[in-house]
Amino acid sequence: SKWPVSSITVLPGFGVLHLKSMSSMCGIDTIAISDTTPGRQAWKEIVSKAKYKYKRLAFPDDNGANCVFVNGVVLHPSKEDYPESFKVWETLECKKIALNNSEFSKADGSLTCNSILIC
């Protein structure tokens, strides 16, 4: 395969649906990931298994780190959805669009659940 693949464990018992809920690519070399217990554990695994070196952008909320990076633009949760995580998104220097996801999140849906990526 052109792209290396490694499994990353999501700690059970913390309410995290899956890895993509608490971590997403938010740039070519940057991963948005929660700074919670499961997020920190996943980051340790990513660092130890990754073939490439990634920067970490840490978020106080698991789902606050969920985003879609497409065509150089980051679609991320709104201030209304995750006020503390929104402050972190404001520090990222790139084109960004904040999207309200409050209704979809009631069914455990995140921004990545609302997207279809076509390569």
Show which residues are catalytic.
Answer: 18, 113
Report which of 20, 41, 17 is spatially closest to residue 31, judged by C-alpha positions: 20
Report which of 76, 49, 20 is spatially closest to residue 10, judged by C-alpha positions: 20
What values do phi and psi take at 30, rounded to 5?
A: -130, 135
The residues, ordered by sequence, that sit 6+ positions from 5 with a Cβ below 8 Å of its Cβ are none
State how beta strands 95-99 and 73-77 pair: parallel
User: Residue 29 has what DSSP assignment?
Assistant: S
